[in-house]
Structure 1
């Protein structure tokens, strides 16, 4: 059953702020339902699938957009660290709801906790001169330990439904969580659009960027916070365990067939969207976990991209044969 338009009498300040996004969700649901009526696809007849598809489409853009920068900066594993701290954020939200009856969305607390954790990854690296993988390991362990501790307390049935956050679930993409995802999508796209040149400079040459007056540490923090937003948004259908794959696998596949950064970015988005759409459809009809199916399809697409990349390289080599050596006797 669709949700009505948000009014001041129905909701609190957060939902009033997200009111335009609720309105957009209604328009989207009507549009997808109409497509379902025209095509006869059963999965397009249900409201939860409308939200799941929209969330998947947004993830298919956000994840490779940020993942392309991360892969080139050799930070591919940061997604795992922030996913586990995002799980801790979910546990914090569930705990607060159970103990204080706040009624806050667990995904909102996950965003806050994951962004704080992202900043700690950078601060630990800067303060201790430790490698990034060390700070990521510390934050990952701390985040998951906090989450499991709060879950084990089991205040008010806290452990109920945890699997949906670990493995993702199409049916549990609520109107509130979809609206939060849309807000994160707008923020991520907007910030990357405004800071793209600086992020590129810092990604490929931090030293030169610092010499030119760019605050490298500031843009590093922006990148990890954007990553936290993407990870929490993708956690809805991918789950904590698999969410990092969407940051890395499409980008890795695109790098096999692309010749420039911009081309790699575009191709990675196409590959991610292909994996998401096929994954959601297959998981619905096969009654399988969406996150697992999406990742399996993404890895399959990556394998095909590797083959295509090898064929491209061979064709280029064949079309540009090396000049044979000139024998001394051939020179007059």
Structure 2
């Protein structure tokens, strides 16, 4: 296959697989917590880290990781303690992050509009060996957290109060989810772009929820969809010369529409069964809400 003949496409495909795994793996918890747009906010903040990387002449992935982690922690603290003015504080953080990134890139000697666009929307040719090493290390962290603490993360995503009663360190785990989401943004920005990474966190999970009835099944299917659309979008971008990030997101939305259409007859059939006289109500909830068989706290 000629797509594998070039070194930059080999790196891009490996990065696409890692993005396809990590984004839904942490996105499922954001969807459960109704924080689907958190990745978008972190992406805005990460722009300052990208600009700082250009200004300091270092790899923007590492500076973006540091800045986005700090921003994610601030977001979580605002969510936990902010009451009446929390939404304004978050808005200032998001817009300030984007503006800071644009300013720093323009102040740097190595920055340019073309380089900025590659971080905003993704670019196949810009994934260097150094970038791939950084992506591998950060992706390993995300996977380790998502799998190693899956039961604890499931518990706080379902019901924070119940998790607190059982003795789980809810505040620490909430911060860990935010930090992991920030790291995922840094993993994905080279392939999908900072402005579109949130879609890859959310859409595969939402698509999987249409046909799965447990947390475990939703997790596995969402990751499979994420990897599939990431590889397909990267290959399409190579052959058709279209932006990889936009292609990946549109493919993910197409999968969501397809699975929703396929699931509708079964959903109507279940609804009629529930409405039938004497029908028993099932305790299983559709999608990523899961059942008690999936995870034990």
1:138 Cα deviation after fit = 3.0
> Which residue in the other structure is 1:85 paired with?
45
SS in 2 for 1:176: helix
Question: Structure 2 length as normaliser, TM-score?
Answer: 0.88
**CA pair 162-191 structure 1, distance change in 2 beyond 3 A:** same
> What are the within-5 Å matches in structure 2 for residues 60-209 of structure 1?
60-97=20-57, 104-129=58-83, 134-153=88-107, 155-160=108-113, 161-209=115-163
SS in 2 for 1:162: helix
**CA pair 312-162 structure 1, distance change in 2 beyond 3 A:** same
5+ residue gaps, structure 1, are: 1-40, 98-103, 325-332
Check the 8 A contact 1:124/1:130 in 2, yes or no: no
> Which residue in the other structure is 1:297 paired with?
251
Check the 8 A contact 1:282/1:293 in 2, yes or no: yes
Max radius of gyration: which structure? 1
1:319 Cα deviation after fit = 7.6
- Structure with higher RCO (Cα < 8 A, 6+ apart): 2
Deviations 1:155-177 (A, max 9, x none): 31422521111111001101011
> Which residue in the other structure is 1:10 paired with?
none
1:284 Cα deviation after fit = 0.8
Question: Structure 1 length as normaliser, TM-score?
Answer: 0.79
> Which residue in the other structure is 1:279 paired with?
233
Deviations 1:183-239 (A, max 9, x none): 011111112222221111111111111122222111110000000011111000111
5+ residue gaps, structure 2, are: 279-297
> Which residue in the other structure is 1:232 paired with?
186
Check the 8 A contact 2:55/2:110 in 1, yes or no: no
Deviations 1:65-110 (A, max 9, x none): 101110010000000111111121010010112xxxxxx2111111
1:132 Cα deviation after fit = 6.6
SS in 2 for 1:244: helix
Deviations 1:299-318 (A, max 9, x none): 11110011011022235467
> Which residue in the other structure is 1:267 paired with?
221
Among 308, 316, 319, which residue is 2:262 paired with?
Answer: 308
SS in 2 for 1:240: coil
**CA pair 306-133 structure 1, distance change in 2 beyond 3 A:** farther
Pairwise CA RMSD: 1.9
Check the 8 A contact 1:78/1:136 in 2, yes or no: no
1:323 Cα deviation after fit = 4.6
Check the 8 A contact 1:88/1:146 in 2, yes or no: yes
